[in-house]
Amino acid sequence: MIALLVILLTVGYILVLGFSLWILIEYWMVIDVPPAIVHTMKFRILHSYGHLIFKWGCILEKLRICSMPRFCQFALHLQLIRKDPRVVVTNLRFGTISVRLFQPKAVSSCPRRGVIFYHGGAAVIGSLDMYHNTCSFLALKTDSVVLSVGYRKLPDYHHPVSFRDCLNATVHFLKTLDTYGVDPSRVVVSGDSLGATIVAFVSQALVGRTDIPKLRGQILVYPALQGINLQLPSHQQNKNVPIPLTELMIVLCRYFTIDPSWKDALLKGACVPAHIWEKYKKWLSADNLPERFRYKYQAEFPAPFNEAAYLETRHAFEVENAPLIADDQIIAQLPGALIVTCEWDSFRDDGLLYKKRLEDQGVPVTWYHAEDGFHGCLALFSTILFHFPCCEKIMSAIVKYLRDI
């Protein structure tokens, strides 16, 4: 009996290992490694591992062993937290929302700048622990009080829970700034990836509020700001560059409770009615992008309209989910911004289009473009094995922007 069990375990191990190798080899052959990436082998290993975790998560979910988001969180949240004696870290709860406060230990003669941070991770991965070292670094290097928001996400929570958690945590913090020694005239909201989307949402949601201090600035690191036109040049140019949009769409469909069978309709624009495209193409068309970003671009948008697809996905076109299409009067009242874009990112053009929208309405914008950057790189800032030069450059741009506030 024991011998049979050993044989079965051995065979199972070999099958799992063999299948994993097959997934890795297949992905290795398909992905494009941007020529600007310095450590090409490290880049391949990093994203091949991420792809493997995603695929195994999907397999385990189909076998009803574990949900894909839960498996990804288990495999990717193994982040080593470094305790810096120069920073005081406090875990708090704002109602049902977990937050983590980072305060420089050194005594300050005046209230400090406040930075609210929303992590990325497509509402699947990302956590207070995963971005702990990054927030601690920001607090120390900019002499700021940093509040990291641990919003709720998949698999237990869907849109708009993450957005609402961040908005509620921000409002609560803004109402209690004195408690944390924060200057009410110097509060900035910041985030990367989905966190940057939330930055845009929160900044717009707070326009016109008179019961709380106004935001001084917003930092959007490789934001995704709309799901209407997914055939922009950056989507076409980086379709095989990690993280592939086709994989992200599976996750985003789940977050927005859209059946994954409509993924292709979303990607091709078949769910976009003519009247919506006519209304928003002035902001979402590739014609608004600088010429240098329109190479290898073929205008193939939108595809023939599919009414059934529209009826199933139309909530993705609401302003709350697509901050890029907010009205001019809202855009004009937004605080100044730092927008970080990465050359090798499917969502690069969202950041560029938002930059133009802000500038057209007279909102001051600081722009940093990472020629060697890729989506998700800021999450690797505090890692040792998978640290890339672009991580350091982006963080330096953020630190410089904050120090000037």
Q: pLDDT tens digit string along 73-127?
A: 988 887 788 899 999 999 999 999 999 999 999 999 999 999 999 999 999 999 9
Q: What is the mean pLDDT of residues 209-215?
A: 97
Active site residue 193: yes
Cα–Cα distance, 136 to 131 (Å, whole number): 9
Cα–Cα distance, 337 to 219 (Å, whole number): 6
- Checking if the pLDDT of 311 tops 70, the result is yes
Per the residue annotation, which of 67, 162, 193, 382 is the catalytic one? 193
pLDDT, tens only, 361-396: 999 999 999 999 999 999 999 887 788 999 999 999
> Is the separation of the CB atoms in 343 and 371 below 8 Å?
yes
Task: Give the domains, in start order, of the chain with CATH numbers.
Answer: 1-76 (no CATH), 87-225+320-404 (3.40.50.1820)
Active site residue 375: yes
Cα–Cα distance, 155 to 312 (Å, whole number): 20
- Checking if the pLDDT of 312 tops 70, the result is yes
Cα–Cα distance, 392 to 377 (Å, whole number): 10
The pLDDT, as a whole number, for residue 39 is: 67
Q: How many Cβ atoms from other residues are within 10 Å of residue 32's Cβ?
A: 13
Half-sphere exposure of residue 244: CA atoms within 13 angstroms, side-chain side: 16
* Mean pLDDT score of the chain: 89
Per the residue annotation, which of 183, 192, 345, 349 is the catalytic one? 345
Higher pLDDT, 37 or 154: 154
- E strands along 20-108, which residues? 87-94, 97-104
The pLDDT, as a whole number, for residue 297 is: 84
Percent of the residues in the chain that have a pLDDT greater than 70, as a whole number: 90
pLDDT band at 24 (very low <50, low <70, confident <90, very high): very low
CA distances, 8 to each of 18, 22, 65, 79, 173 (Å)? 15, 21, 19, 33, 55
Per the residue annotation, which of 119, 162, 375, 382 is the catalytic one? 375
